[in-house]
């Protein structure tokens, strides 16, 4: 297990549209928390994700309600409305700045992303500003990953300083996607065992992901 030397609050952060949240999100968050001995995991539902401009999103109040239901049984899981309560694109660099201001200096933030996120990070808004505000960038290891010195050098060239922040962890590889879940509901296929029962019930009770659904 990872053994941090600092005595500051080590907070895990995991962002996304969570449209809907599912077991892959939850498994990754729990694995990061236990592997890195984090105090808590904070889920940050996106308000206006800049990489999904023009794509319809389920209303924020529904996505937040499903998130709350999904994490209710884990006392180490919580959430932040920071991106839902501010207008404009949900840039991570701004989110981190706000959280630092709210939570103070006694904080070590660990931001968890998938391998695809790592590949695209240098295209994000102000990636250097993101790294500067993180204690560690936590990347979930893709299947078959091996340490590749040349690949690490390429990462460092694209985004100088990233290797000082990067932590790679292993997490359960659950082949579940929110896109597939939305399609399944629209096509009247089962989503049981792919997400918490409370979230499944919410989806059906509120008529989410139906072909004509937009509230």
Predicted confidence at residue 215, as pLDDT, reads 45
For the chain, which residues make up each domain, given as ranges? Answer: 9-174
Residue position matching structure tokens 């105090």: 39
Q: Report the pLDDT value the prediction gives residue 6, as an integer from 0 to 100.
A: 58
Distance, CA of 146 to CA of 143 (rounded, Å):
9
**Prediction pTM value:** 0.91
DSSP β-bridge partners for residue 14: 43, 112
Q: Among 92, 93, 71, which Cα is nearest to 15's? A: 92
Q: What is the DSSP letter of 141?
A: P
Q: What's the confidence (pLDDT) of residue 99?
A: 95
pLDDT averaged over 10-residue windows placed end to end, the chain, 215 residues: 65 97 97 96 91 77 98 98 92 95 90 93 95 96 73 92 94 93 97 98 96 58
Q: Which CATH architecture has domain 9-174?
A: 3-Layer(aba) Sandwich (3.40)
Q: Is the peptide bond before 38 cis (omega within 30 degrees of 0)?
A: no
Q: Is residue 207 left, alpha or beta, with left meaning phi > 0 and alpha meaning psi from -120 to 50?
A: left
122, 158 contact by CB (below 8 A): yes
């Amino acid at each position: 297990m990872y053994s941090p030397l600092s005595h500051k609050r080590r907070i895990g952060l995991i962002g996304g549209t969570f449209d809907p949240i599912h077991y892959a999100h939850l498994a990754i968050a729990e694995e990061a928390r236990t592997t890195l001995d984090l105090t808590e995991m904070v889920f940050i539902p996106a308000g206006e994700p800049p990489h999904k401009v023009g794509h319809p999103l389920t209303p924020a109040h529904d996505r937040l309600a499903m998130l709350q239901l999904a994490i209710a049984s884990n006392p180490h899981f919580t959430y932040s409305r920071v991106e839902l309560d501010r207008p404009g694109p949900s840039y991570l660099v701004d989110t981190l700045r706000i959280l630092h201001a709210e939570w103070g200096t006694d904080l070590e933030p660990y931001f968890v992303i998938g391998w695809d996120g790592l590949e695209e990070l240098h295209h994000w808004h102000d990636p250097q500003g993101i790294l500067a505000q993180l204690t560690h960038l936590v990347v979930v290891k893709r299947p078959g990953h091996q340490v590749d010195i040349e690949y690490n050098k390429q990462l460092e060239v694209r985004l100088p300083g990233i290797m000082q922040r990067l932590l790679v962890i292993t997490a359960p590889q659950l082949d579940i996607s929110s896109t597939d879940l939305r399609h399944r509901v629209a096509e009247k296929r089962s989503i049981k065992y792919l997400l918490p029962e409370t979230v499944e019930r919410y989806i059906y009770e509120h008529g989410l992901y139906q072909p004509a659904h937009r509230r």
